Amino acid sequence: MFAPNGLTGPGDCRVVIDKTSREYWENAFARPPENSREISSPVRLALITEYFKGLVGETVLDLGCGWGAKSIALAKCGFRVVAVDISKNALDHLSRWAQDEGLDIGLVHASAENLPFPSDCFAAVLANSVLDHLSHTQGEAALREISRVLSRSGLLFASFDPQDDDERRRYFGVDSFKNLAAATGLRIAGTELTDSGSTIVYAAREAE
């Protein structure tokens, strides 16, 4: 298994949350909710496993794993899973869960834009509602890192939550992904709009 080398708005007092900071996510995962060991979106999980089905037994990177439900599910499906998150609290929760389930999941504390792995080492990368919580600069760096650590023709499943105009200005999104994919060595195989309004992007690293 691999190992790693609110601002206040004017006038209306509207709080602007900075989701790009390590501190935000450490606080967000400070206390697990009662349902933290549940699969929140079985439909999404089914789409992921269907896209990765030809890679069972290979190593998959769960980028921004959060509480770790999808890491656990993928490991149970027979994938070798390495989970990365910027929040140590999230990884501690997943560590306990994996231990209780008797699962071997690699845990790495790192940011999406600076992955401590060699190039060409993952058969697939899962980025479920992760890239859209990064700034545009961070998102571009993360996309380049994803492409770097993917093996040739390796698969990427990325999902993006709906964004309003302000969020599109502040955060990386599906349009940013589409604009940068080719430049970062990724090929988009297809997209899908879910009932909740999220956009799923099926992509792969170019073979050459």
Domains of the chain and any CATH numbers: 7-31+41-205 (3.40.50.150)
| pLDDT score of 19 | 66
| pLDDT score of 28 | 83
One pLDDT digit (tens) per residue for the chain, 208 residues: 444 333 233 333 333 455 667 788 888 888 888 888 887 788 999 999 999 999 999 999 999 999 999 999 999 999 999 999 999 999 999 999 999 999 999 999 999 999 999 999 999 999 999 999 999 999 999 999 999 999 999 999 999 999 999 889 999 999 999 999 999 999 999 999 999 899 999 999 998 7
Q: Which of 152, 104, 153, 155 is closest to 125 using CA atoms?
A: 155
| pLDDT score of 30 | 85
| pLDDT score of 7 | 27
pTM of the shown model? 0.88
d(CA 46, CA 41): 9
